[in-house]
Structure 1
């Protein structure tokens, strides 16, 4: 069996832990230097994953923006852009979103009940894989490993970050902490309530902490917990 990919969770959040506010426009938490850092991480991975809710809300292209980084990928025998991956339990996807029309290959993980709906909606825009009657993250990672994905970058949203952290499937967490306070109870947060491995006293290993302009990058190793 192929090895599962190395999973990196990546998020920008406010000091009080929010990924966005409740306004219709996306709240820009990062700065230009941090966006470039994220672009560098994207260029280093084999696949980038977002949830269908994040896709619908933000409508991202999810690309490597730097021409030099794309050229370096091609020189290394890779595609110019990483594989783009999404997951959906409902099958509620929109074929007009930018995700499907920029970059190279796309892959959708869904459940048995939504497979036909996804195929009909996308009409060949992406490969579609079911993980069975429910979304199974173990099967998602197994399939990505089988497809040659060695490094996976997960860019949200909060539900997906929560599920992967709760199931102890994240190898690294990259958090860009912005000097903002959102303070809105209904705004999306980086993590929600869950039974996390080790409980509330387990401390993750800090790999890096440094300023990037006016945000602070924190890198943690969630699997290297100490009591």
Structure 2
């Protein structure tokens, strides 16, 4: 089976932050952009977030529009995309909202954490090991075997960085909010990485548009010139 088409999705400040350093989540998007994200979610087969993002933001990660969910069902798809997370430590609380909303859930982990996770989650999700250490290629291979054609990756920054550095992202959706965070300890969209082509490789721009006070940009990172 072929690997899924990988779409990275993030909202950032103008200076590239996903959040500030406060205990409250910084809302970067506006209502129109949240609706755009909902539309994108409705068009994919799976949505992936990292364990750190789950613990910090405690998202439900749903398609909120009833109309969009109904269209998925009418097209013969599950009402909600498969929800996927990845953890090496296995430290995920069964009380997180992720497990208790939407449809099927899948956790990728490593051999040393499989039994710990299965015991903690008690059937709330399918738990799969990709070996002794996390390997994104094996994660994508397994998702492809499970029929995932389009994968939306919603963070966090460490995962976005790994996908971009390993040249695994087919498309990047970036919603840029007119805010400046300026806090070095806050989470960034991308960190240090050995990116393909180096600092002079320019990605192809697929789309740019204003959504209220948000600037939305779509890039094709594999089409570097």
Residue 45 of structure 1: aligned partner: 44
Residue 60 of structure 2: aligned partner: 61
Residue 137 of structure 2: aligned partner: 138
Question: Counterparts of 2:164 and 2:91 in 1: how far apart (Å)?
Answer: 25
Residue 190 of structure 1: aligned partner: 189
Show CA shifts across 1:154-201 (max 9, x none): 000000000000000000000000000000000000000010000000
Question: Counterparts of 2:132 and 2:191 in 1: how far apart (Å)?
Answer: 24
Residue 108 of structure 1: aligned partner: 107
Show CA shifts across 1:195-224 (max 9, x none): 000000000000000000100000000000
Moved over 2 A (4+): none
Aligned residue runs from structure 1 range 72-111, under 5 A: 72-111=71-110
Residue 146 of structure 2: aligned partner: 147
Residue 11 of structure 1: aligned partner: 10
Question: Counterparts of 1:139 and 1:57 in 2: how far apart (Å)?
Answer: 26
Deviation at 1:96, TM superposition (A): 0.3
Residue 225 of structure 1: aligned partner: 224
Deviation at 1:44, TM superposition (A): 0.1
Residue 203 of structure 2: aligned partner: 204
Question: Counterparts of 2:90 and 2:165 in 1: how far apart (Å)?
Answer: 24
Question: Counterparts of 1:5 and 1:132 in 2: how far apart (Å)?
Answer: 20
Question: Counterparts of 1:28 and 1:220 in 2: how far apart (Å)?
Answer: 23
Q: Give structure 1 stretches of 5+ with no counterpart.
A: none
Question: Counterparts of 1:221 and 1:89 in 2: how far apart (Å)?
Answer: 29
Question: Counterparts of 2:119 and 2:159 in 1: how far apart (Å)?
Answer: 25
Residue 26 of structure 1: aligned partner: 25
Question: Counterparts of 1:190 and 1:27 in 2: how far apart (Å)?
Answer: 14
Question: Counterparts of 2:114 and 2:219 in 1: how far apart (Å)?
Answer: 36
Q: Normalised by the size of structure 1, how large is the TM-score?
A: 0.99
Deviation at 1:120, TM superposition (A): 1.0
Residue 214 of structure 1: aligned partner: 213
- Equivalent position SS for 2:181: coil
